[in-house]
Amino acid sequence: MRLGMVIDLKKCIGCYGCAAACKAENATPPGVLWCRVVKVESGTYPQVRRISVPLQCNHCGDPECLKVCPTGATFKHENGIVDIDHELCVGCRYCMMACPYQARTFQHQVLGYFPGGLTPYEQRGYQRHQEGTVSKCNFCLPRLERGLEPACVANCMSRARIFGDLDDPTSEVARAIREKGAQPLYPELGTDPSIFYIAP
């Protein structure tokens, strides 16, 4: 099994719903974005075009971040998810330098969003975050273990995201790659990403 995702840029309306759902699901502190949506403009006025491109960790088959981690904190699950053991992370940030997709964030301080202390939601959610360590998308592994889809997939109102097993030729995600010609971002970097994009 190798878990992966297809993001259909024809369907994405750039609403940031995935980024918001990721924050809500994972209680990431201010300044930490595991899911981003960037706007890309092309053309010359008046022939111009603006598209939205959601970005997150690609759960690479050959991840540069894993190779440079000196403590073994970055590791890969059997299902292909690249994860971080925060107990082993020493915050050296080598992985951030090595990741060509800028998918990782260093958590300087785990602060609340509001003055007056942490909300009950933050007190509970922040137990998953540790100051002085690096974090990133984990394909919502705790949700997968409960039989749920990743939050960004479940909450995409355009159904622009498909999640599943890349190794299963009958899965929706494998069929979308095959039939719609989905491609990873910058395959020439050689990290073998598990996220594929359908061209806009």
Interface residues toward ligand SF4, by CB under 6 A: 12-18, 21-22, 25-26, 34-35, 37, 52, 54, 56-60, 63-65, 82, 99, 101, 103-104, 136-140, 150-152, 156, 158, 160-161, 191
Which residues does 157 contact at the CB level (< 8 Å), separation at least 6? 13, 15, 17
CB of 160 to ligand SF4, least distance (A): 4
DSSP 41-104: EEEETTEEEEEEEEE-----SS-HHHHH-SSS-EEE-TTS-EEE-TTT-----HHHHH-TT---
Nearer to ligand SF4, 111 or 192 (CB): 192
Cα gap 104→107, rounded to integer Å? 10
Residue 178 host element (H or E): helix 172-180
* Residue 175 C-beta: closest distance to ligand SF4, Å: 19
Least separation, in Å, of the C-beta of 58 and ligand SF4?
4
Give the pair of three-digit tokens for residue 22. 């990721």
In degrees and rounded to multiples of 5, residue 92 shows phi and psi of: -70, -25
Q: Alpha-carbon distance 37 to 189, whole Å?
A: 21
Least Å from the CB of residue 44 to ligand SF4: 26
Smaller CB distance to ligand SF4: residue 104 or 196? 104
Please, what is the minimum distance in Å from the beta carbon of residue 38 to ligand SF4?
10
Q: Which residues contact 79 (CB under 8 A, 6 or more apart)?
A: 1, 2, 3
| Minimum gap (Å) between residue 147 Cβ and ligand SF4 | 15
For ligand SF4, give the closer residue by CB, 69 or 174. 69
Which residue, 19 or 115, has its beta carbon nearer to ligand SF4? 19
Nearer to ligand SF4, 12 or 174 (CB): 12
Q: Which is nearer to ligand SF4, 26 or 171 (CB)?
A: 26
Helix, strand and coil percent figures for the chain, each rounded to 5:
25, 25, 50
Which 3 state secondary structure label does DSSP give 22? helix
